[in-house]
C-alpha cells in the first residue's frame, strides 16, 4: 500500500537531530543490525544521528535513556527498535508511553498498513507506538530490520521532511515552526 507524497522543492530541507535506542537482551552495538539500518536511513535522508545506544529489555534502563534524550534540546526525534512484541520481556511501550504528553495513534495505524504488505497478518505481533514528549517526537518500532524499513521508508521519512506537503511534523516542532 502506498500513499501519495508531495515534496515541495522550493522549501529547504532541514536536518533533524535523531537519537536511536535499540532494546535487546542479546544484541550489542556491533550486532544491532536494526539500529544500524535506522542510522543509515536517517543519515541517507539528510538528518543527523546524535546518539545511538543499546539497553537490555528493562523498563528503568529504557526510561532513563529516553528521558535523557527528551531533555536534550538537540534531540528532535527518538527512534527505539525492539521490545514492542508480546513476549514477557517486551516492555518498550510500557517504559516509553507514560512519557508521552500526546499520543500519535495514526502512526501505529499507518505502520501496520505498510507492514501488512510485507509480512501479512503477522504485523499484529507488534505494539509499535508513537507520541510527543515536550518538544521531542518518539517512535517505538519493532526490532526487525524489515519493520524498521517499513516504518522509515513508508511513514517517517516523509513526515520528518520539512518539504512534505500538505503537512509535516516540523511545522509543530517549536524550534522549526517559526522558520
- Give per-residue pLDDT as tens, 123-150: 999 999 999 999 999 999 999 999 999 9
**How many whole angstroms separate alpha carbon 151 and alpha carbon 51?**
19
Is 75 part of any domain? yes
pTM of the model: 0.96
Considering the domain boundaries, does residue 99 fall inside one? yes
CATH of the domain at 37: 3.40.980.10
Residue 68 lies in a domain: yes
In a domain, 151, yes or no: yes
Q: Containing domain of residue 49, as a range?
A: 10-177
96 alpha-carbon distance from chain centroid? 12
User: Which residues have CB under 8 Å from 12's CB, separation 6+?
Assistant: 162, 163
Alpha helices in 33-80 (DSSP H): 33-44, 59-70
Instruction: Indicate whether 5 belongs to any domain.
Output: no
Number of domains in the chain: 1
Q: Tell me the average pLDDT of the chain.
A: 94
pLDDT band at 5 (very low <50, low <70, confident <90, very high): confident
Does the residue 3 lie in any domain? no
For residues 17 and 8, give the distance between their C-alpha atoms in angstroms, rounded to a whole number.
Answer: 21
Amino acid at each position: 500500500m502506498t500513499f501519495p507524497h508531495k515534496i515541495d522543492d522550493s522549501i529547504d530541507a532541514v536536518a533533524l537531530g535523531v537519537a536511536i535506542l535499540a532494546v535487546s537482551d542479546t544484541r550489542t552495538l556491533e550486532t544491532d543490525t536494526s539500529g544500524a539500518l535506522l542510522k543509515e536511513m536517517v543519515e541517507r535522508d539528510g538528518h543527523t544521528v546524535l546518539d545511538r545506544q543499546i539497553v537490555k529489555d528493562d523498563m528503568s534502563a529504557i526510561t532513563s535513556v529516553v528521558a535523557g534524550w527528551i531533555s536534550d534540546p538537540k534531540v528532535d526525534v527518538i527512534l527505539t527498535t525492539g521490545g514492542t512484541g508480546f513476549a514477557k520481556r517486551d516492555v518498550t511501550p510500557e517504559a516509553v508511553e507514560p512519557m508521552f504528553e500526546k499520543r500519535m495513534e495514526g502512526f501505529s495505524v499507518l505502520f501496520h498498513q505498510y507492514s501488512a504488505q510485507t509480512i501479512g497478518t503477522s504485523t499484529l505481533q507488534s505494539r509499535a507506538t508513537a507520541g510527543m514528549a515536550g518538544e521531542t517526537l518518539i517512535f517505538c518500532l519493532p526490532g526487525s530490520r524489515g519493520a524498521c524499513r517499513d516504518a522509515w521508508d513508508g511513514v517517517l521519512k516523509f513526515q520528518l521532511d520539512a518539504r512534505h506537503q500538505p503537512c509535516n511534523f516540523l511545522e509543530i516542532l517549536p524550534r522549526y515552526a517559526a522558520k
